[in-house]
Amino acid sequence: MPSYVVTGANRGLGYAFITHLAFLPNTTVIALARNASATHSRLAADNIHNVHVFAADITDPAALRAAAAEVSQLTGGKLDVLINNAGLVSTRSAWTTVLDDSPEGLEEDLMSSFRVNVVGVAHTINAFLPLIRKGELKKVVTLSTGMADGEFVNSFGLPIAAPYSISKAAVNMLVVKYNAALGKSEGILFLALSPGLVDTSEGAPMSEQDMAGAQAMGYDYNRSSTDGALADYLHLRRSVFGNYAPHFTGPITPEDSVKM
């Protein structure tokens, strides 16, 4: 019976992962979330009762080790797939450049993004590596982003979300280093992948500050509904996305992303 651990499972892509996996036959699904009780409640409301939920913050190595011990008891000391989904996207710098923030604000966002998106992933992998080594599938998947691709960013002129993008570029190299250390020697697959442009707002509309940043970046925006961020983003049009992907019509849902 394959087993999966998904971090940051309380909302967005993480929640979509665990609900998708929960419907696979003969599969053990384990959710890690900072707020385990809220995740339990949401799963119960969705009538999903076969997901195991443990509390853990990926920036807390002791909490991760405790969660790994609980998972080990559940799975017989092994784990097949670890999905590093938990991450930080700073709301302050999502639509700004490195030139728009104060030195103090830029440093704060860089440090917090690196701590969660890089150091937190390293802590998570290290905590669950003993279980992965004993698993059958031996896969560690880390969610990244196209915004961490230097060629893409330079080719299409994307200076926004610098702390997030920088930290994700760093985690890409972290994944490479793990794969170099253990990929061939132990047969563990370490993979970083982009889930696509996903709307993870769960109905929350874009803030006026974000919208101002989007417009400053050249987006043509016309707020014509109050259906949340997905509706907002569907009104954003910019040549960069059309040039890169002519079929682009807007972000996809977390549910569609995890099925790809």
Active-site annotation, residues: 164, 168
Separation of CA 5 from chain center = 13
* Residue 113: φ, ψ to 5°: -65, -45
Nearest to 134 by CA among 193, 90, 187: 187
Separation of CA 155 from chain center = 24
53's tokens: 């939920």
- Compute CA distances 76 → 22, 27, 93, 221, whole Å: 19, 14, 43, 53
Which uninterrupted H or E stretch holds 111? helix 103-114
Task: Return the residue matching tokens 């994944």.
Answer: 175
**Residue 193 amino acid letter:** L
Contact 84, 5 (CB under 8 A): no
